[in-house]
Amino acid sequence: MTTDPTVATKMTTHGRDLVQVGGELAGWLAGPLQADGPVEVGNVHAPTGGGMSSVTILLDATFHRGGELTTKSLVVRLPPDDSGFAVFPSYDLRRQYDAMSAAAARVPVPPLVGVEDSSELLGAPFLVMEAVAGWVPSDNPPYVFGGTLYDATPEERRALQNATVDVLAGIHASPVDAVPVLLAEAGSDSLRAHVDAQREYYAWTHSRDGVRIPILERTFDWLEARWPADPGEPVLVWGDSRPGNIIFDGFAPAAVLDWEMAAVAPRGVDLAWMVLIHQFFQDIAEVFELPGLPDFCRAEDVHARYAEVTGVQVSDFEWYVVYAALRHGIVMSQVKRRMVHNGEETMPEHPDDYVMHRALIERLIG
């Protein structure tokens, strides 16, 4: 990382005309919003500070319902268009909608307005939710450099950390049969299915340019050689499980966001991802000789809180942390490719440098 880490990195995600999207949505929204007549759409804009994969659009919808004038702030999620250089090979918004619906009884999710499976209106399927007020720990620049979480007291940070673990416990207690597509993908061995899907994802990332990444392939081998003897029961997992995907009201969760990596898999998939992503940010801070937040999201604290809340001890936790590092490495390699494609960075000299946290992976697998 060569730029100032406290300044947001420019990352192109799409080339859509936001005003046009808002206008086309106006007619569709009348049904899901149960409007008495036409819906007026305004204040159409993109959010700042996050979002590396899906296209997110914010807007206000004004309409009459039951004779009363109402305005709602809405969030629209779409897959990236061709100009955005997709991070993932597919974007199934219906499965995200179903996963959120399944977890809604146990964790706060944004009020769901509706999902459109057809590409007829906007050229792609889309998902619409109500906006939720609050703040989000920043990814870009990472929260380890400043902001509400950084400036909080140790007690407030621990409260937020515990609340995030409690969110995981709630998601894991949700009915897996409420999302049949995820249950079917998990098959009879959910961990094997999850890892196999990551192999397919990795193959997809280098199918265009042929650049294989040795550190990722070594990590696959490390994981195979140390496969958990008992992964535990499969549960609904959030996938991108971390504070940066939660809107907070104070230090309490108000809405759990970003369900595109949801699956049915062992609990350790979510728990370790939360730990690994913070370690990724903390390492960046330490590279720049800054303190970061070394006491936040430590593995022993996260693991202990989860066991306290659920009564379940996740075994082979180190294995899941390495697996999280691998998963994140595949994602980051594709993000790097996209930034090179968009002229925001130069092509790395060594394939391993497509993975920003290669040193962290090397440390984990020895």
List 240, 258, 270, 316, catalytic entry? 240
CA–CA distance from 22 to each of 6, 130, 221, 258 (Å)?
32, 15, 47, 21
φ, ψ for residue 324 (rounded to 5)?
A: -60, -40
Instruction: Check: CB of residue 75 under 8 Å from CB of residue 57.
Output: yes
What is the residue-wise DSSP string for 43-57?
EEE--SS--SSSEEE
Instruction: Check: CB of residue 295 under 8 Å from CB of residue 144.
Output: no
Does 60 participate in catalysis according to the annotation?
no
Instruction: Check: CB of residue 143 under 8 Å from CB of residue 149.
Output: yes
CA–CA distance from 25 to each of 16, 41, 176, 287 (Å)?
14, 8, 32, 45
- Can you tell me the distance from the alpha carbon of 35 to that of 314, in angstroms, rounded to the nearest whole number? 48
For residue 346, the 8-state DSSP code is P
Examine residue 141 and say whether the peptide bond preceding it is cis (omega within 30 degrees of 0). Answer: yes
Q: Position 311: which residue type?
A: G
Which pairs with CB-CB distance under 8 Å and at least 24 residues apart come from 187-196? 190/231, 190/234, 190/263, 190/264, 190/265, 190/266, 191/228, 191/231, 191/265, 191/266, 193/265, 194/263, 194/265, 194/266, 194/269, 195/223, 195/323
Instruction: Check: CB of residue 59 under 8 Å from CB of residue 44.
Output: yes
- Can you tell me the distance from the alpha carbon of 271 to that of 298, in angstroms, rounded to the nearest whole number? 11
- Three-state secondary structure call for residue 190: helix
Q: Position 150: which residue type?
A: Y
- Three-state secondary structure call for residue 228: coil
Instruction: Check: CB of residue 222 under 8 Å from CB of residue 361.
Output: no
Q: Which residues are catalytic?
A: 240
